[in-house]
Structure 1
Amino acid sequence: MLDFIAVGLGPFNLSLASLLQQKSKLKYLFFEKQAQFDWHAGMQLPNTMLQVPFMADLVSMVDPTSPFSFLNYLKAQQRLYKFYFLEQPHIPRKEYNHYCQWVADQIEHIQYLSVVTEIVPKSYGFEVLVFQAGIYQRYRCRNIVLGAGNVPYIPQCMQTLIQSYPERCKHSAHYLEHQPKNLQGNVVVLGSGQSAAEIFLDLFDRQYQFDQVSQPKFNLNWLTRANGFFPMEYTPLALEHFSPDYSQHFHRFDDLNKDLQLSKQSLLYKGISAQTIREIYKKLYHRHLAGNDLATHLHSQSNLIDAVLTEQGKIRLIFQDRVTLKQFSLDSDYVICATGYRRPEFQFLKQLKPLIKTNPQGHWNISANYAAEYAGVGKIFVQNMDMHSHGVGTPDLGLGAYRAATIANQLVGYALYDLATAPQCFQHFDPLQNPQVQVISKNITTQHHVHAQHVEDLVKNVNFQSQSPSTQHSQHQQNHQRYSNIENSI
């Protein structure tokens, strides 16, 4: 009987494994379907950097003395002084991946090429069915830790094309796999996040030969449905939203308020790094200065509504401008969907779902200690499945060690790690933390009604894209007036 089984081995579950290694007597296994740890292998482009400082490694934010820290990795690689002289807190993505592989190679409890196919509730906890080396194995455990990660999100109108023409249509997660050597015609990048920007930069550098005197080899188009090519908010007071303080504060909100707050915080975790935007603009400027054909076209507010294969073999992308509602098409030869990731419907959880309580929005109820509200025996802990309950810091590497340590403490049954309750931020997320304030009563019911109306409008805005242009125009005017009323009410 194992104390727990962990499903998946991304950075967050690897953090848990690192924090428990040599520090507990628990019996456990981590199952990973891949042959080795390899974090976003399809996007490890040259010179791309991690978007958080190196301290957001697997362990340092809760145990800086751990042998699995990034600094100890540098020492083991005999690169400590070189990194010191570099004076750069952000590290290459490839180096972070190699650091994680270095840690994973030292962990005793990882089994690769192991696919969890079913988890069955039992009187003692759980029975886990795992496909390994061509056969099914059954394991018994008291608790489960879910860290299987997300899967690429592909717009519905692109799914058939990606399946039928993988050499011409792909998600950014697979960008480096089977890259065509001689791109020609129109190349299209879809999306407005960091991955889209990095792919745009990579393709931009491939448009011309080395001397940049010849004609461009292809035209490069970058389109997004977002309002613009905006940077992520990366100033210190904004970054405090990625702290244990804010996660705990956010967890105390009611469900509707949580959805409302998340809807207003997208630029805290979406968007492009300011440095990458500057690099793109600098390259555009220098190409323009040299008198070369830019051969690039950037469009925001462009919603992809359909994609078809023409008789000439082109991929015709059909867009609608979100402001003017005009539709336009773009024939392309190669399309990269940098359209993010989604939470899949894990089939291996099928027998557990009836025993897991959800909120009215359909999300799992997650405790402050990252455990699902489960009616069976044992506990189910989640990694990177708790944005709806703990806020924008959920996918951030900087909070990974804290969450893993919180789960580790629950698994061992005592404070294996001292997770200080003293404030970690300069700002007060709860005004009642300020001894100078006085509480004034308010009409909670009215406030909740406003929140509910706002969330309802957010849902309607998702359905907005499937309406006809004339219906959209009318709905657009109604929503504008309603949002104005809501903002004035809050």
Structure 2
Amino acid sequence: MLKHGNSVDVIAIGAGPANLSLAALAAPIPEISLRILERSETLRWHPGLLLDGAVMQTSPLKDLVTPADPTSAYSFLAYLHDKRRIYQAIVRGLACVSRSEFDDYLRWAAEKLANVQFGERVIAVELRDESFDVITDRRNYQTSTAVLGVGRVPSIPDWGRNAPPNEVFHSSTLLVQRRELSGKRVVVVGGGQSGAEIFLRLLRGAYGPLEALTWVTRRANIFALEDSPFVNEWFFPQYGGWFFEQSESTRKQILERQSLASDGVNSATLRTIYSALYDREVHRESYPAHVEIRVDTTADELRSVCPFRLGLRQQTTGICSEHVADIIVLATGYRTEIPSFLEPIASRLAVVSAPGGSREIVVEEDFSARFDGPERCRLYIQNGARFQHGIADTNLSLVPWRASTVLNSIIGRVAYDCGPATGVVKWTSTGVESSR
């Protein structure tokens, strides 16, 4: 039986980094009560991709709180200190923090916060008079402010949606179940970091010796992550503000040019793969019998099953071919989707179509949704507005800044300074300038 009458100032849906950041920054603010609802029984950050040796592509100082409040008790450095690892971490350096360690940090923070309700799935968000009714599978909550932070969903090509799920699956589920692929012909689709890590793992025989391994990407080559200092200013608050002011067509063009800044492959990973492929020439018995990398190639059709005949098209020449495979791993990224539990209020929300099949709720500069409802009811969207706020929106880089912006908006005062950081690139224009 559902319990009623749970009134909370702020209900945050989803216990990912975005809402954990919001909760951590709200912790010292006495005038606000906040509860996070998470459907999973425990906190795991991309559990299907916690591969051995996988490292963070962003600095661990871009954690839940540090850029907004370096003195916070919920920082990554506080976590290292609590775990008695800070001296060793300083000596080793913070440039090679593993995903599994960052996952442990997020779990540590959630335990310290104590306002994360696990195992509680939100079924619907409805309007009742002047408040939201957040209905879960356990109880109802009443709140005037809801914050959505459920993350993105795997992007599956049309041809892969009705395929057998144990043979054609998204990379995010790789580690979800035990896999034995000995003697199989495996294709990895996608040339980003996840595709590279999975290709390397399969190349090294993590799931048994393969018969064949093929890596397919529509990119012109296997490109490294673009993380030069000037490019990294795309992940500054002031750039997001400039991006927000641009037209939809301009935003689309910009995001297309920026793909390698968020989805290129770590240079160390590329060197390791290249070295492993060289070693295969010397020790062939330890590697798949057949290994192939196809660039500038689109996978566009699945023509049969058991085995699969995957249709490939070479983009420059237009030449089409078939590739036989037993297993296909889709390292095809993620898209933003409007959760089904918002259906009761969906007609009151403005929505914009974004590249890659994403659909985003239209938000304002403070990440509040454009909502045709009672003025007292406010809905905020975290990590769901990449097409509106820029490349950093779905990245860890600006999580504390965005949470601070949302928090300031909720309480109606400046609890955290969200002004622009110092930078060397000028993104705004004040009109005609003279060189004299």
TM-score (structure 2 length as normaliser): 0.91
Shift in Å, 1:363 = 4.5
Kept after mapping to 2: 8 A contact 1:55/1:398: no
Structure 1: tracts of 5 or more residues without a match: 210-215, 439-490
Shift in Å, 1:358 = 4.0
What is residue 148 of structure 2 aligned with on the other side? 146
Shift in Å, 1:370 = 0.8
Question: Structure 1: which 4+ aligned runs deviate by more than 3 Å?
Answer: 289-294, 358-364, 431-438
**Structure 2: how far apart are the matches of 1:281 and 1:289?**
13
What is residue 376 of structure 1 aligned with on the other side? 373
Aligned length: 422
**Structure 2: how far apart are the matches of 1:58 and 1:183?**
41
**Structure 1: how far apart are the matches of 2:339 and 2:284?**
53
What is residue 101 of structure 2 aligned with on the other side? 95
What is residue 460 of structure 1 aligned with on the other side? none
Kept after mapping to 1: 8 A contact 2:23/2:34: no
What is residue 54 of structure 2 aligned with on the other side? 48
SS in 2 for 1:106: helix
Shift in Å, 1:419 = 2.1
Shift in Å, 1:172 = 0.5
Verify: 1:129 aligned to 2:135, yes or no: yes
Kept after mapping to 1: 8 A contact 2:61/2:67: yes
**Cα 1:394–1:437, aligned 2, differ >3 Å: closer, same or farther?**
farther
Report which stretch shifted further, 376-385 or 200-209: 200-209
Shift in Å, 1:243 = 0.6
- Deviation per residue, 1:78-131 (Å, 9 max, x gap): 001110110242310000000000000111221111111111123322111111
Verify: 1:303 aligned to 2:317, yes or no: no
**Cα 1:207–1:102, aligned 2, differ >3 Å: closer, same or farther?**
closer
Shift in Å, 1:396 = 1.4
Kept after mapping to 2: 8 A contact 1:125/1:376: no
1:84-483 residue pairs with structure 2 within 5 A? Answer: 84-132=90-138, 137-163=139-165, 166=166, 168-206=167-205, 217-290=210-283, 295-310=290-305, 313-358=306-351, 363-377=360-374, 378-421=377-420, 423-432=421-430, 436=434
Shift in Å, 1:436 = 4.8
**Cα 1:176–1:437, aligned 2, differ >3 Å: closer, same or farther?**
farther
Structure 2: tracts of 5 or more residues without a match: 1-6
**Cα 1:192–1:353, aligned 2, differ >3 Å: closer, same or farther?**
same
Larger radius of gyration: 1
What is the root-mean-square deviation in Å for CA atoms of aligned residues? 2.2
Report which stretch shifted further, 331-340 or 399-408: 331-340
**Structure 2: how far apart are the matches of 1:96 and 1:208?**
25
SS in 2 for 1:403: helix
**Structure 2: how far apart are the matches of 1:233 and 1:217?**
32
- Deviation per residue, 1:455-475 (Å, 9 max, x gap): xxxxxxxxxxxxxxxxxxxxx
What is residue 487 of structure 1 aligned with on the other side? none
Kept after mapping to 2: 8 A contact 1:255/1:359: no
TM-score (structure 1 length as normaliser): 0.81
**Structure 2: how far apart are the matches of 1:115 and 1:322?**
43
Q: Tell me which of 16, 19, 23 is aligned to 1:10.
A: 16
- Deviation per residue, 1:386-444 (Å, 9 max, x gap): 111111111111100100111111122211112234x4211111254996559xxxxxx
**Cα 1:433–1:244, aligned 2, differ >3 Å: closer, same or farther?**
farther
Shift in Å, 1:290 = 4.9
The amino acid of 1:63's aligned partner reads D
**Structure 2: how far apart are the matches of 1:174 and 1:237?**
34
**Cα 1:208–1:380, aligned 2, differ >3 Å: closer, same or farther?**
closer
What is residue 467 of structure 1 aligned with on the other side? none
- Deviation per residue, 1:307-345 (Å, 9 max, x gap): 1434xx212211111121111111112221111112234
**Cα 1:254–1:291, aligned 2, differ >3 Å: closer, same or farther?**
closer
